[in-house]
Amino acid sequence: MLVELIFIAGGLLIIGAAWVPLFIRGLPLSLPMVAVGAGALLGLTASDGTILRGIPPESVELILRLALLSALISAGLKIDRAFSFANWTSVWRLLGLVMPISILLIAALAMALMGLDWRQALLLAAILSPTDPVLASSVQSGPPGVGEEGETRFALTAESGLNDGLAAPFVTLAFLPLAMDVPADIGHWAMTDGVWNIGAGVVAGMALGILLVVVNRQLPGDYRLSGSNSGMVSVGLAILTYGVAEPIGANGFVAAFVLAVTLRNSGRSVEYSRRLNHAAEQIERVITVIVLTGFGMAIITSGFDALRWSDAVLVILILLVVRPIAVVLGFLGSPFKPRTRIALAFFGIRGLGSLYYIVHAANLGAGLVDRHLIEVVSLVVLCSILLYGVSGDYATRRLDRHSGGTSGDRKAKYRREAGAPSEHET
């Protein structure tokens, strides 16, 4: 009977991923909040946690990796702005200044409030450094060809697409041996886990993207991939890119996002880019609902027994203080308007990226990940889901007001350009 119940629950989750958003429009709720709540209710009916304990940690890591890859492809395809170092200034500030400052601040706070040593503090900070491309979807750019809708949406989309990969070198830094030769080992880490890992990821993503575009254009029209009308190719591309990048030491997350940006910049078919983006979003949403339902169950069955009051203070500081301070410092001397900086300072959303890295770090072993660390990360993600789920609609409306449009305007424009029926016709 257990197998049948799992199938029933899985079917309901997939249907709910598409249906629930229709019922919560206009409410201070989000689909991730509903998924976590549903998982919590399920956890109350199975408080012994038997189902969750039967899932291998490696499988959990794989599922989270698939969710992130789908989200990264979707995020990259949404970026209409042509790539250049000058055009992406806000992104470089978020990645090159805001992210390292956030890591330093979180690590310092973790050592002060949690009593962690530098390795565990650095690991916690690295795990919590990426903003989430899944939970941040409501404040990302619109579908391909609709327009980036302002500097804030563009910057948040590109940041969340890249910093999931950029967190990896900082995670590996925490696992360097205590008895290391500092100059030699740090130098080796900087070259292999930093320069090569990220640089090769960028090159691999660009090369695969350009190769796909060139091959597709050389084929007769009836045999082109873009003529297949299948958006499912997007997830296949993400998995393929990750599989090519990782064996050569390249960052698979960075490669997947760069591939999507390359396809969007090089491809001529906006319509096909929209199909790819739509399919990636659908798969991402389904996997996200499944993961967050399991997350809600885990919270109920495991609890937060290892947490202290100082940990709650740390979580509040991470979500409400660290990101604003890092953005203020990272954007000193920049030409961006105050409202853009305020929006970027607010949307420091943590989610599936942090869950992936805590599971990944636990699977690596070395005794750095204990229950206390897991519960702090879980509390940050839970509070992030609640905070941005409640405030997301209001914040999005404010963004739309300043960018000269509304969510309804963007949706109508997308439907007109895509040739889709209006909402009254669907």
Domains in the chain and their CATH numbers?
29-416 (1.20.1530.20)
The SS3 call for residue 251 is coil
Closest among 164, 284, 288, 289 to 235, alpha carbons compared:
284
In angstroms, the CA 253 to CA 236 distance is 14
Written as six digits, the tokens of 392 are 């997301």
Concatenating the DSSP letter of every residue in 262-279 gives HHHHH---HHHHHHHHHH
Q: Which residues contact 353 (CB under 8 A, 6 or more apart)?
A: 68, 130, 131, 132, 133, 163, 164, 167
Q: Which residues contact 212 (CB under 8 A, 6 or more apart)?
A: 225, 237, 263
8 Å CB contact between 160 and 257 = no
Residue 109's φ and ψ, nearest 5 degrees, are: -65, -40
Q: Please tell me the total number of residues recorded for the chain in this structure.
A: 426
Q: How confident is the model at residue 416, as a pLDDT?
A: 42
Angle between helices 151-174 and 197-218 (to 10 degrees): 130
Query: For the chain, how long is the longest CA-to-CA vector?
Result: 67
Q: How confident is the model at residue 403, as a pLDDT?
A: 59
Cα 331 to Cα 91, 99, 152, 342, 347: the distances in Å are: 11, 12, 13, 11, 15
Taking phi over 0 as left and psi of -120 to 50 as alpha, with beta for the rest, 147 belongs to: left
- pLDDT per residue of the chain (426 residues) written in tens, 0 to 9: 556 776 787 788 778 887 887 787 777 788 889 899 988 888 887 655 555 666 788 989 999 999 999 889 888 888 888 888 888 999 999 999 999 999 999 999 999 999 999 999 999 999 999 988 666 666 666 666 665 567 888 898 899 999 999 999 999 998 887 656 667 788 889 999 999 999 999 999 999 999 988 888 888 777 777 666 667 788 888 999 999 999 999 999 999 999 999 988 876 567 777 778 777 888 888 888 989 999 999 898 888 888 899 999 999 999 999 999 999 999 999 899 888 899 899 888 888 999 999 999 999 877 889 999 999 999 999 999 998 888 877 777 776 666 554 444 444 444 444 433 333 332
Q: Which helix (H) or strand (E) holds 252?
A: helix 252-266
8 Å CB contact between 77 and 273 = yes
8 Å CB contact between 69 and 323 = no
Cα 29 to Cα 10, 131, 211, 375, 390: the distances in Å are: 22, 20, 42, 24, 5
Closest among 131, 63, 78, 24 to 283, alpha carbons compared:
63
8 Å CB contact between 280 and 77 = yes
Written as six digits, the tokens of 260 are 């999507």
How many C-beta atoms surround the C-beta of residue 228 within 10 A? 12
Q: How confident is the model at residue 282, as a pLDDT?
A: 84
